[in-house]
Copies of this chain bind each other. A is one copy, B any other.
Amino acid sequence: MSDTAVPRTPSKPVTGRPADREGGAGRHGNASRRIADGLRAAILSGELPPGSRIRQEEVAAQYGASRIPVRGALNILQSDGLVTLIANAGAWVAQLNLAECEEAYQLREQIEPLLISASLPGLTAEKLDRMDDLAARMERAATPEDFLHLDREFHDLSYSGAETVVLADFVCRLWNMTQQYRLAFYRLFEEQGSEIVHDEHRMLVRALREGDADQAGLVMRGHIRRTRQALAQHPELFDGARPGAS
């Protein structure tokens, strides 16, 4: 009797870090989720660079659990596209080559304008103010890590007005897949700090304040497209054995 019509929504990450729900506790319930969150954070922060191997036993010891929940966590991360599992061989942090990364950016180009349009009606003035604040803090960011963190917060906020599920999940997945390469990319420009990005962010907030969804979509599309083309000019970020990857 209780088998029908139980969970309506797929309970997906939405936009921000996944699995922030559960009331924040999660102390006992599922170690898999907790480990997955920890590993995800490590991967997204660059602590675990692409291509690095993940050994079940190490992770289990690190989190004070057995290998079973670690395997669950790895499965979850594989579904997020952050980890590559090969049967009877092991797990590695997912690695994209230039072509795959460009695919991800082409996808973002196509679907993020949709998401910003869906989000616009739900963006309150308070949220837009916070976006302005984040954009300003981004201009003063000291390190690429800080910059990227603020950048993600900014865009997450810009999408927070959307009540979509599938769309937001896909966008989140694409952001996660490419996060490490954005980090490597911005490390190249640590000193100069591209001014264009800040202009684009201001343009985005302006368009959102004016309620112009089409304009906001165009800004986003240009923003992503420009980044994609800039990335394509630095193939050394891919394939090449990363310095501290061992």
A95 contacts the other chain (CB 8 A): yes
Residues of B within 8 A of A143 (CB): none
CB pair B87–A22 under 8 Å, yes or no, is: yes
Please measure, in the bound complex, the distance between the C-alpha atom of A7 and the C-alpha atom of B81, giving whole angstroms: 13
Residues of B within 8 A of A103 (CB): 164-167
Nearest chain B CB to A33 CB, angstrom units? 7
Please give, as numbers and ranges, the residues of chain B lying within 8 Å of A245 by CB-CB distance. Answer: 3-5
* Complex contacts, A114 vs chain B, CB 8 Å: 106-107, 110
- Shortest beta-carbon distance, A215 to chain B, in Å? 18
- Indicate whether A84 sits within 8 Å of B246 (C-beta atoms), given known contacts A75-B79, A79-B76: no
Which bucket holds chain A's interface residue count?
35 or more
Q: Are A8 and B107 in contact (CB under 8 A)?
A: no
Q: Contact string, A153-165, partner B, CB cutoff 8 A, digits 1/0? A: 0000000000011
| Residues 166-196 of chain A, each 1 if its beta carbon lies under 8 Å from chain B, else 0 | 1100100000010000000000000000000
Contact of A10 among B6, B71, B94 (CB under 8 A): B94
Q: Which of B33, B52, B79 contacts A3 (CB 8 A)?
A: B52
- Give chain B residues whose Cβ lies under 8 Å from the Cβ of A125: none
- CB-CB < 8 A to A78: which residues of B? 76, 79
CB distance from A164 to the nearest CB of B (A): 5
Query: CA separation between A158 and B24, bound complex, in Å?
Result: 46
Q: Are B170 and A170 in contact, with the CB atoms below 8 A?
A: yes
What residues on B are CB-neighbors of A6 within 8 Å?
Answer: 51, 53, 92
Which residue of B is nearest A12, CB measured?
B81
Is A104 a contact partner of B72 (Cβ separation < 8 A)?
no
**Whole-angstrom distance between the alpha carbons of A245 and B6 in the complex?**
12
A52 closest partner in B (C-beta): B3
A206 to chain B, nearest CB (A): 25
Interface status of A97 (Cβ within 8 A of chain B): yes
**Could you tell me which A residues sit within 8 Å of B by CB distance?**
1-11, 22, 29-30, 33, 51-53, 68, 71-72, 75-76, 78-81, 84-88, 92, 94-97, 99-100, 103-104, 106-107, 110-111, 114, 164-167, 170, 177, 239, 241-242, 245-246
18 of the cross-chain contacts (CB-CB < 8 Å) are: A2-B53, A3-B53, A3-B92, A4-B242, A5-B241, A6-B51, A7-B92, A10-B96, A30-B88, A68-B68, A71-B72, A75-B75, A76-B78, A96-B166, A100-B166, A103-B165, A103-B167, A106-B114
